[in-house]
Amino acid sequence: MLADVGRVALVLSLVTAVYAAVTSIYGAQRGVQGAPWIASARNALIGVWPLLSLSTGVMVWLLVAGDFQVEYVATVSSRAMPTYLKVTALWGGQAGSLLFWAWIAATFAAVVMFRKWDEDRALLPYVIAINAVTQIFFIALVVFVETPFKKLPFIPVDGNGLNPLLRHPGMIIHPPMLYLGYVGFTIPYAFGMAALISGRLSDQWVRATRRWALAAWLFLSLGLVLGGRWAYDVLGWGGYWAWDPVENAALLPWLTGTAFLHSAVIQEKRGMFKGWNMALVIITYVLVIVGTFLTRSGVISSVHAFARSAIGPLFFGYIAIVVPFSLGWLIRRWDALRSEHRLDSILSREVAFLINNLLFVTITVSVLFGTLFPLFTEFFIREQITLRVGWYNQVVGPQLGALVLLMGIAPLLSWRRMSARRLGRVIWLPTLLSVLLIGLLVVLGHRSVGALIGFGITAFVGLTTVLEFWQGVRARHRARGEGYLRALNELIVRNRRRYGGYLIHLSIVLMALGIVGSTFYQQETQGALRRGETMTLGGFTVMYEGLEERQESSELLVSEATVSVYRDMEKVATLKPRRDYYPVYQQSTTIPAVRSTIGEDFYIILVGWERVSHDQATFKIYHNPLINWLWAGSILLILGTLVAGWPGRGEQVAYSMAYRPRAILAEKPGSV
């Protein structure tokens, strides 16, 4: 049976990964004679991929074909589901998503193996080993504990199918994006540990993994934004982030990963912060595993439910091994991670990056503290105490504000040292304009301190970042006579990393704008309306027109209301909030209708209605100012990251299909 093929391929992939781990370490121990072993380990690690691909491919086939004797297929797939949803059901449940995770890990590891290793040969065996061990853990989970190919003793007529809440584009892309981000950070971690273990502590490992870290960061950012967007579109509570433990689990590695991306610049430019970077990359990997553990073990109460299983303690065990192992090597090599230079002055870009690291760490610790708080209290005082959602906004808000402010100041600072006078000269105009803006807002009646500070900081950072572009463009224009547009293009293209980074900063400014607006100025109301009756919110008036119930498909019943939205006596939209009901699953999903503009979202949910006559219906409405800047910002974030990471002219292509083990074998003893 096909499922057996899948299972066999899975077991073989585990064996191959174990082989890769063992031979890579053995080869590393044997010095020059170890080269053929390392070459073999490399091939084995590459070989895990086709085996896992076969296994994953089989699972997808089983899901699409509807082989319901396989328990996993019966749980997440069904006859009536469209094909594309059957494919996405691969990550619709615990076992399948772990298999998917392992497959992504194998893919990334295989790609890394095709790198040109000429300059980093000392790192190779350990990179292989770390990747192999990660894969061993996840594949072992799937082989022994959460088995996707397990068969039922009977053949069900039909499967349960994916929960209707998961049948949404956002829910489809969001998990893969998160996994790509999570798994992606394994590569920088592997290189970092390889540098530690091999003792090759130049910044080669940082340079080699820059694009990997950037790509992982991009996927993780997208995963977070998509999760928020999906919650906003489908869950109907008018918000996009609830500080739920599972959300925090994805945020934590993002925080330290962002810190790492920044801090790595300092190591490359000035040979400083080596200890920080090593610690950050280790913590990021650990947080990835911790995040996966928190999400899947059910150890912290969360609204994102997973079926309870035995994998919780196993994850904990893996963490208990990884942390001492990584920290042990970090401590052992600590002396070698000394900075090549020292800090020259408080007013310097280096210090700004140092504060940057510090703030990211304090935010990470804060979020971790809040998330694990119930566990701590349970352990120490035998009482589970949780923290209300407001806690996070109060604790993390100010720190994020400080971080964003820093984002605006740091690009203005010179390397090594800058006089206060010079800083003053560049900073006075943006500061003045931002303060004026705050003053203007106060005059217009805004009183919320948080919002005023938020807008002030956002404006300041937006201005300083645009100023960076402006100064660069003007310099090119004057020096080379380039037209402004051309100068801008050349500026970005020739300094992709820097100006791509500034584009990302701009995207954060836009997102901050959306967050400040929607957090501090959200309004909501609810009520029952008879046909023709109206209610108002945020300057909008909404009138109930009618409701239609119809059979959309064999498994879906839709109840859709029609409302007209007016502003200043003029009709601006017709919205159709609805309730989708799946009788087979007895599951309904409430789908809000939204009118989106640059300035705000007008968001309406159908809560209830009178049967048969439909004379009356109840609605809940939200007014979310500025929220679309959040989504717009995320699009700019993608663009900025692509610019920052794009290979430039003259850069050597670092990947090649050819790997020359003979070159290693030909090395004379004693040569590096």
Partner 1 sequence: MANTADWTSSGSEETRQGGGWAKYAAAGVVIVAAVILLLYTTTRGNAQFYLSVGDLRARGAEMLGKDVRISGIVVPDSIVYDAQTLHLEFSIVDREHPDQEPLRVVMEGEPLPDQMRDEAEAIAEGRLRSDGTFQAETLMMKCASKYEVEVKE
Compute the least distance from the CB of residue 493 to partner 1, in Å: 34
CA nearest neighbour of 39 among 54, 26, 53: 26
Whose Cβ is closer to partner 1: residue 50's or residue 66's? 66
DSSP track, 75-88? HH--TTS-HHHHHH
Strand intervals (E) in 511-669: 523-530, 534-537, 540-553, 556-567, 570-575, 578-582, 587-591, 593-596, 600-609, 616-625
Distance in angstroms (rounded) separating the CA atoms of residues 115 and 512: 38
Whose Cβ is closer to partner 1: residue 258's or residue 589's? 589
- CB count within 10 Å of CB 608 equals 13
Compute the least distance from the CB of residue 445 to partner 1, in Å: 28
- CB count within 10 Å of CB 478 equals 10
CA nearest neighbour of 585 among 296, 85, 166, 97: 166
| Cβ contact 213:180 at 8 Å | no
Compute the least distance from the CB of residue 342 to partner 1, in Å: 5
Whose Cβ is closer to partner 1: residue 52's or residue 403's? 403
Whose Cβ is closer to partner 1: residue 75's or residue 209's? 75
Compute the least distance from the CB of residue 126 to partner 1, in Å: 14
Residue 418 one-letter amino acid: M
Whose Cβ is closer to partner 1: residue 373's or residue 469's? 373
Whose Cβ is closer to partner 1: residue 376's or residue 646's? 376
449-480 vs 389-409: helix crossing angle, rounded to 10: 20
Compute the least distance from the CB of residue 204 to partner 1, in Å: 10
Distance in angstroms (rounded) separating the CA atoms of residues 356 and 362: 10
Whose Cβ is closer to partner 1: residue 650's or residue 669's? 669
Whose Cβ is closer to partner 1: residue 335's or residue 568's? 335
Compute the least distance from the CB of residue 582 to partner 1, in Å: 11
Q: Which tokens hold the place of 327?
A: 């920290």
Whose Cβ is closer to partner 1: residue 92's or residue 430's? 92
Q: Which tokens hold the place of 454?
A: 């938020």
Q: How far apart are the first and last CA of the chain?
A: 51
Whose Cβ is closer to partner 1: residue 620's or residue 623's? 620
Compute the least distance from the CB of residue 352 to partner 1, in Å: 12
Compute the least distance from the CB of residue 481 to partner 1, in Å: 42
Compute the least distance from the CB of residue 292 to partner 1, in Å: 13
Compute the least distance from the CB of residue 145 to partner 1, in Å: 14
Q: Which tokens hold the place of 517?
A: 């607006």
- C-alpha atoms less than 13 angstroms from C-alpha of 572 in its C-beta half-sphere: 15
- C-alpha atoms less than 13 angstroms from C-alpha of 103 in its C-beta half-sphere: 23
Query: What backbone torsions phi and psi does residue 498 show, to the nearest 5 degrees?
Result: -70, -50
Whose Cβ is closer to partner 1: residue 203's or residue 545's? 203
**Residue that has been written with the tokens 């301190």 in this structure:** 449
Distance in angstroms (rounded) separating the CA atoms of residues 310 and 299: 11
587 bridge partner residues: 582
Compute the least distance from the CB of residue 586 to partner 1, in Å: 6
CA nearest neighbour of 127 among 110, 142, 141: 110
Residue 598 one-letter amino acid: I
Q: What is the DSSP letter of 655?
A: B
